[in-house]
Amino acid sequence: MSTSIPGLMLFELPVHGDNRGWFKENWQREKMAAAGLPDFGPVQNNISLNRAVGTTRGIHAEPWDKWVSVASGRIFGAWVDLRRGPTFGRVFTAEVDPSRAVFVPRGVGNAFQTLMPDTAYTYLVNDHWSPDGEYAFVNLADPQLSIPWPIPLDRAELSEKDRSHPPLIHASHVTPRKILVVGADGQVGRALRKLYEGMPEVEFAGRAEFDLTDPASTARRHWRDYGAVVNAAAYTAVDRAETDEGRRTAWAVNVAGTTVLSRLARENGLTLVHISSDYVFDGAKARPYTENDPVSPLGVYGQTKAAADAIVSTVDRHYVLRTSWVIGEGSNFVRTMQSLAARGVQPRVVSDQIGRLTFTDDLARAIAHLLDSQAKPGIYNVTGAGDAVSWADIARDVYAACGRSRKDVQDVDTLTYFRGASGPVAPRPPRSVLDLTKIESTGFTPRPWRDSLRDYLRD
């Protein structure tokens, strides 16, 4: 059952007894997950034997999750929320014997007092102790907590260290698990920097800070301190990917790099967020593509993104965001059209590719929503909302916003546009319209791309 402290859960465990004694399943992954417990990935099991009644162990909050239970005897347990937020200092108490267990999330202080002799207290944890960890403590006797210890603390067995812990007013906070944004210097990465500005629990790493091809770079981080990794790194030069060198680079960045992140996520229980593309489809369908449609990429770039999607899907907690026609900071189609309009150029723009723009601010907002809401893992289409149009139609909208005539933009088909190109040209999906029903069902409302375009041009 849930408690007054968010994430702290109390479970009743069936205990089967006979003339020989009793047996219980103290931890059973499948059953616990079905009961609503996070699959927190324990890596260590500890047991504390307490000889005397009244043995009291202090309120410690560590940077990991715990599954605590009693193997023999009985305890009075007290838990204090030491995470930053509105529930900081909130207390929950309960008696626990072998028929009960408690899931204690990271940052919630845990203490107990034995009510029977020779009480064995056990806990599973999902990280190893480290001298660099952030640990928080609070005094057992703090009047502000008002913990009703069954045995007064002046008659209880305590360590001097526990007696000297600070009151709540001076207690340290335990920070939440961090989010790491990889590829933080790209368009999506810069949008995430803007969204998460001033939030110390979000780290940003460009290629200089984090190189997926360098094992030393991945080994330097203590991955159990993280809760999620957002993979915003990608090789997106779709035409160059059709060259020998570009093909090798595209597979190295989009597939091999994603494989490294997926392995780290599986080993450390991380949520992995990955940005995918409409290029995983051939664009032959007249209707919008859903998340369940089979992939059929036309070119190298699309092949690498489809392969990465499959790899990320092996991670228990994953979000693959398929998007299209991304516009953010730096050089892009909208900025090019804006520049041409300012110079009085009358461009020919492709009119037989149909889709919707996706602005990186909106994509960043969708990423934050999925992480915050803890939506069901899987693939989600994320683009701007509204009607599907051609690149030429978008160019005309830009020209009109710049005070130029829409007639200045001339239609051209893809084949004609690329005729005479100096290098390889990647095949483009003619229809890149993605169905948004699934992301909308999570409570996220994609912004109409025309509204985003208007604000983008104004800013």
User: Annotated active-site positions, please?
Assistant: 60, 123
* Residue 446 amino acid letter: P
Q: Are strands 326-327 and 358-359 parallel, antiparallel or unpaired?
A: parallel
Report the SS3 class of residue 212: coil
Alpha helices in 85-233 (DSSP H): 160-163, 187-195, 215-219
CA–CA separation, 336 and 399 (whole Å):
11
How is 344-378 classified by DSSP, letter by letter? T---EEE-S-EE--EEHHHHHHHHHHHHHHTPPSE
| Residue in the structure block whose two tokens are 């927190």 | 40
Find the helix or strand (DSSP H, E) in which 296 lies: none
Q: In sequence order, what E strands does 115-212 have?
A: 119-125, 136-138, 178-182, 202-205
CA 69, distance to chain mean position in Å, is 29
Are 205 and 180 in contact by the 8 Å Cβ rule? The answer is yes
Extract the tokens encoding 328: 């953010």
Return d(Cα 8, Cα 366) in angstroms, integer: 27
The DSSP line for 61-77 is: E-SS-EEEEEEES-EEE
Question: 130 CB contacts (<8 Å, ≥6 apart)?
Answer: 222
